[in-house]
Amino acid sequence: MATRSEISYTCRSMTEHLTARLSKWPFVLGDIMLLGLAGMVVYRSDWPLSMGAATFCLVATALGAWFCVLPFLKEYHAASKLAESNALSTALAQIKNLEQVQAEITRATGQWMGVRDDSTKTVAVAAQLSEKITSEANAFREFLQRANESEKAHLRLEVEKLRRSEADWLQVLVRILDHIYALNQAGARSGQPALTSQLNQFQHACRDAARKVGLAPIPANRYDTYDAKLHQLANPDEPLPPKAQVMTVHAVGYTFQGTPIRKPVVSVSPQPQAEFQLSETDVDDMEEPALETDPE
């Protein structure tokens, strides 16, 4: 609907247009002629006026008034028609605007639906990628765990081999040093100072070489008080008198890298040194040295 200002502007425009096209002077002239005719009838008639003269004057005056008002009525009627036409045009323009708005809404809705579909697809792809990444990460973690366990098992095996190899050559070295000690004791009993000195130097040289790999002797002296924590009996069934003393040292003890592997082998009763011989079982009873390398 057109507003009041729009109608006023339309009426004013219509009035100016009609003024330019519709001349009012014929109506005014007709009005003047009718009024003049009525005045002439009044002037020529006798008083009081007859019914016919009064009726004629009244009709002439009414027709004159109607002729005077008629152009304004025409202008108002035309202005109303134009206002209705403009209002109808405005309504049609608004309807077209509404149609355009509806089209824009429809297009925006379609775009939003497309964006929603794309978002749904993106979320689905992201979920698939997440699941794939998770599965790949789990597989890689399992692979690393298996590789780590395999490496640990390999290291354990290598360390075990090294321990066995070390225990083997350590036993061999201890047996060699035991034999050297027995040879040194035999030279001491021989009563030959030169031979004893040479054997002592030979034993010291061998022990110095053994110290370079971490093998050190644990000495034991005769007449030392026997201590089960420090000594090992050559004959486990040998009776122990009160306050027993070491009478014979058959073999010294050894430590490997600070770890005791065998106590000195002694006897608390006098026994000839030649009658004792260290058996393989005594050497095999040595503790295996602990390696510093930790496979874990």
Tens digit of each residue's pLDDT (9 = 90 or more) over 120-161: 889 999 999 999 999 999 999 899 888 888 888 989 898 888
Show the low-confidence residues of the chain (pLDDT under 50).
1-4, 7, 11, 14-15, 17-20, 273-277, 279-296
**pLDDT at residue 246, rounded to an integer:** 86
Its CATH architecture, for the domain 214-285, is Roll (2.30)
The one-letter amino acid code at 68 reads C
**pLDDT at residue 133, rounded to an integer:** 92
Going by C-beta distance under 8 Å and a sequence separation of 6 or more, which residues neighbour residue 267? 233, 234, 235, 238, 246, 247, 248, 250, 276
**pLDDT at residue 62, rounded to an integer:** 75
| Cα 176 → chain centroid | 65
**pLDDT at residue 67, rounded to an integer:** 67
- Following DSSP, what letter does each residue of 190-239 receive, concatenated? HT-HHHHHHHHHHHHHHHHHHHTTTEEEE---TTPBP-TTT-EESSTT--
How far is CA 37 from each of CA 27, 41, 218, rounded to the nearest angstrom?
Answer: 15, 6, 169
**Domain layout of the chain by residue ranges:** 4-116, 214-285
Model pLDDT for residues 1-28, shown as the tens digit of each residue: 444 455 455 545 544 544 445 676 676 6
